[in-house]
């Protein structure tokens, strides 16, 4: 079964702009926020909540999940294209954030992630391998903190 080329990016952060990053198990040394592909029949919000729970054990309904109404279009890295139908080369990524009062340890999905780190947003953005993830983290002070 092939992945749908529509995904979510969920930047998990605290009120003081620390960001949770996860190190990929299938690519050690590559750090990112929660990401994942939409499944058939899911809304983007449902995808975001499911991915947050699968990758961190957090219940997104217990915190503030915000749809940024922002979409990134990018070329799928060749190393992961086999997960998509033949000929699919691009993905549409929808950005969300999840606001936690303070940083907390999470329960990692062992098959997906090796480590976790909470970093100030500037350091988190610099550590991300994905340009879209880094750009979203850099926008946190403007978009994600309620007035």
Confidence (pTM): 0.94
In this predicted structure, what is the pLDDT of residue 38?
98
Within the chain, which residues score under 50 in pLDDT? none
In this predicted structure, what is the pLDDT of residue 110?
87
103-142: b (≥16 Cβ within 10 Å) or e: beebebeeebbeebebbebeebbebbebebbbebbebbee
In this predicted structure, what is the pLDDT of residue 146?
58
In this predicted structure, what is the pLDDT of residue 143?
86
In this predicted structure, what is the pLDDT of residue 61?
97
């Amino acid at each position: 079964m092939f992945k749908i080329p529509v995904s979510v990016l969920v930047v998990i952060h605290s009120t003081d702009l620390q960001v949770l990053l996860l190190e990929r198990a299938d690519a050690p040394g590559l750090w990112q926020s929660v990401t994942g592909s939409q499944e058939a029949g899911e809304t983007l919000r449902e995808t975001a909540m499911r991915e947050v729970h699968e990758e961190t054990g957090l219940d997104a309904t217990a915190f503030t999940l915000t749809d940024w109404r922002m979409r990134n279009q990018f070329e799928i890295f060749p190393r992961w294209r086999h997960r998509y139908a033949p000929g699919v080369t691009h993905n549409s990524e929808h950005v969300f954030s999840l606001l936690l009062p303070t940083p907390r340890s999470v329960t990692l999905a062992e098959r997906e992630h090796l480590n976790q780190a909470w970093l100030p947003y500037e350091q988190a953005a610099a550590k991300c391998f994905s340009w879209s993830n880094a750009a979203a983290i850099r926008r946190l002070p403007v978009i994600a903190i309620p007035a």
